Amino acid sequence: MIETHSAARAGAAPPSRRPIQALAEPIAACEIDFLVVDFETANQRRASACAIGIAAIAGGSIIHSASLLIDPEDYFTPMNIAIHGIRQEDVVGNPTFPEVWMALDPIARRTTLVAHNAPFDSGVLTSSLLRYNLPDPHYRWRCTLQLSRRLWPQAPNHRLDTLCALQSIPLQHHDARSDALAAARLLLILLPREEG
């Protein structure tokens, strides 16, 4: 299942069925500055991605966002289901990780990937590439969690939900598209402070 939006409303109904190409085609030919990525996993294994959310940034604006449920070809734990609400039956018939990443890889190779807590999302990506014997070109990453710790040391904590509340950014936490959009909006607030 996939949900796409060319602009910015966070939190939404579950993704509706559309071709996998809708995830990447709207930005395939664009020069984008950052691709914000958020993965949800089926269990404690990093290589069990069951959802991906993306938000593309170009010229200081979010130009595309989408989410897609992924068949992790693995089991779901009650703990992970409690976090994101995605169940085994939700991903039946959805693409597997290699199909999804084949659509995103050409974009990811020519831009910088961003995540809130990038070590988790980059770990999901690296572990999934390894699991499926796909090449790992060692993508460039930025982390809004690390950036916020450096630029907003006074924040009570630097969790995504806390920072979104402080910055009045809409968030449906652990919805992959909403998390990616929120991290993209945070990045757009943080970057001018880093440069200034």
**Cα(97)–Cα(153) distance, rounded to whole angstroms?**
36
C-alpha distances in angstroms, 32 versus 26, 41, 173, 175, 185? Answer: 11, 26, 25, 23, 15
User: Which pLDDT value is given to residue 15?
Assistant: 46
What's the distance, CA 132 to chain centroid? Answer: 20
**Dihedral in degrees, nearest 10, Cα atoms 63, 102, 11, 166:** -70
- What does the DSSP 8-state code read for residue 17? P
Total number of domains constituting the chain: 1
pLDDT at 22: 82
pLDDT score for 4: 45
Give the max Cα distance, the chain.
48
3-class SS at 179? Answer: helix
Predicted local confidence at residue 18, as pLDDT? 53
How far apart CA 18 and CA 1 sit, in angstroms, is: 6
State which residues of the chain have pLDDT below 70: 1-19
Q: Which domain holds residue 26?
A: 2-195
| CATH of residue 49 | 3.30.420.10
Closest CA to 68 of 135, 4, 148: 4
Kindly write down the DSSP assignment for every residue of 99-135, as one continuous string. Answer: HHHHHHHHHHHTSEEEETTHHHHHHHHHHHHHHTT--
pLDDT at position 106, please? Answer: 95
What's the pLDDT at 20? 79
- Encode pLDDT of 128-141 as tens digits: 999 999 999 999 99
Q: What is the pLDDT of residue 195?
A: 83
In the chain, the amino acid numbered 56 is A
